[in-house]
Amino acid sequence: MNRLIAILFASLLILAPAGVAVATPAAMTPVPEKTPSGAVDKTADGSTNKAADKFPIKANQKAKPQKKGQAPALWLVIPFVVMLLCIAVLPLTFEHFWESNINKVIVSCVLGLPVAAYFAFSGTANMHHLTHTLFEYVAFMCLLGSLYVISGGIMLRGDLPPTPAVNTGFLALGAVLASFMGTTGAAMLLIRPVITINAHRKKRVHTIIFFTFLVANIGGLLTPLGDPPLFMGYLRGVPFVWTFKMLPQWALMVSTLLVVYFIWDTIAWKKDTEAQAKANAAVDREPLKITGLVNVPLLAGVVLCVAFGAAFPVLIGSKAAGFGVRELAMIGLAAASWIVTSKKLRSDNDYTFHPIVEVAALFLGIFLTMIPAVVLLKVRGGELGVTEPWQFFWATGTLSSFLDNTPTYVVFFSLAEGDPATLAQNFSPELLTATIKTTGGAVPEKILTAMSLGAVFMGANTYIGNGPNFMVKAIADERGIKMPSFFGYMGYAFLILVPLFAVYTFLWF
């Protein structure tokens, strides 16, 4: 019953962004310190060793206390909440005002610059948080921008009937590609063909919603290339192939959503007699053809930049957050795509810079205003009382819905990571039967699985939960599809995703 109550409470937080910032932390419950004699530790190559043999723990050994920084005042979270409300409300109440990207920049600056000024002039530690965030924003936009420009030079020509089977096939393909070329790369590659195929369909919003669920988020679970949180785990010592162990969860979630979508789209298709008539009337169908293939290796180049970015020199900043050869390479690949792709092809593909400028404008405000919330989570995250896998799943997932899922994952990863004494103090013996070696010690495998599922899956709960979400919305809006508002999209997630997360919590954890 306690688990069910906690899940319901987390679901309410998903519907109330302000609740994330003011949630009352609970004290962490200590657990027995001694590791059981049968505990095993999984190494990077998949072999197992006795934890007691590798990490002998004395019965009276205590965990080292975690160092805490100074938490920012709670009121500093207000601009972040207001920023989310602006994204949710202004498109509905001041639609004409919100159409201008310049006005979005103004809103982002009005809310974000005071926060930036506070962190710039309130000590070295806070200045570090600000510069770290700005470097992350630049890297974020280099990735999104390069993928947007390059994918805009690839076009699928030909006639495909917009049937439920075709649409479901595209979503399935995108879910697979997302794990190997990243959710952003897969989303940018396939969103335009999906919109083009369904150009004559009356009901198209549900297709874009499920596209966001599957291609821009959930599909990216199987490799560290799929989603940035998993890549951060890889950099911290999690084996590259470990994520394939989550194939059962990936397959269950993807197949469930594909079945739900197919039923939904079949009902909509049967009612859309006009689209059916146009599909049936087509006699001389143009064969399928992909143009702009010169951009495919450029797209692969961006994926490789992400995969091996840690090996590139940093010119400004640090390895953790900086501007370096990786970002320059992405910019160069985007410039090459712009040069080698004909203007006619981009025109035929309805390519403009409006969507990417919109994303840059809004995420500038989001990145700046969320600094206090992220710092609060880092400093006081240990007070949340999160010790069980299902708690890590919902805590990581709920916060990933509104904060960037990468820093959220890193914070909870740090909470779960430690030497054997720390693990024995913080987790039950059952959770220590299998651990994954990391650069900072080890993480219980069940906890790592829960964090990974929460960060990747629940990034689909809002437009800002994962980078590609808003890009997909912006492209769809520009192509004439009236996408739901911020809260409207959350309504779809609450009705479709959250019940699945709740049911699968009992199955997985």
Model confidence pLDDT, tens digit, residues 259-303: 999 999 999 999 887 777 777 766 566 777 888 999 999 988 988
Greatest mean pLDDT among 63-67, 86-90, 102-106 lies in 102-106
Confidence grade of residue 38 (pLDDT, cut at 50, 70, 90): very low
pLDDT at 285: 66
Helix axes 295-307, 124-151, angle to 10 degrees: 160
The set of residues, in sequence order, having a beta carbon less than 8 Å from that of 67 and lying 6+ positions away, is none
Rounded Cα distance between 264 and 274, Å, is 18
**Which of the pair, 247 or 66, is modelled with greater confidence?**
247
Pairing of strands 434-438, 40-42: parallel
Confidence grade of residue 305 (pLDDT, cut at 50, 70, 90): confident
pLDDT at 89: 86
pLDDT at 457: 96
Alpha helices (H) in 287-381, listed in sequence order: 295-307, 325-340, 343-348, 354-369, 371-380
Average pLDDT over residues 224-250: 88
| Residue 323 β-bridge partners | 316
pLDDT at 304: 87
DSSP label at residue 72: P
**Which of the pair, 343 or 426, is modelled with greater confidence?**
343
Rounded Cα distance between 88 and 94, Å, is 11
147 contacts 191 by C-beta, under 8 angstroms: no
pLDDT at 283: 54
Confidence grade of residue 62 (pLDDT, cut at 50, 70, 90): very low
pLDDT at 348: 85
pLDDT at 464: 83
What is the three-class DSSP state of 195? helix
Query: What mean pLDDT value characterizes the chain?
Result: 82
Confidence grade of residue 35 (pLDDT, cut at 50, 70, 90): very low
Confidence grade of residue 130 (pLDDT, cut at 50, 70, 90): very high
Average pLDDT over residues 187-211: 91
| Category of 237 on φ-ψ map: left (φ > 0), alpha (ψ -120 to 50) or beta | left
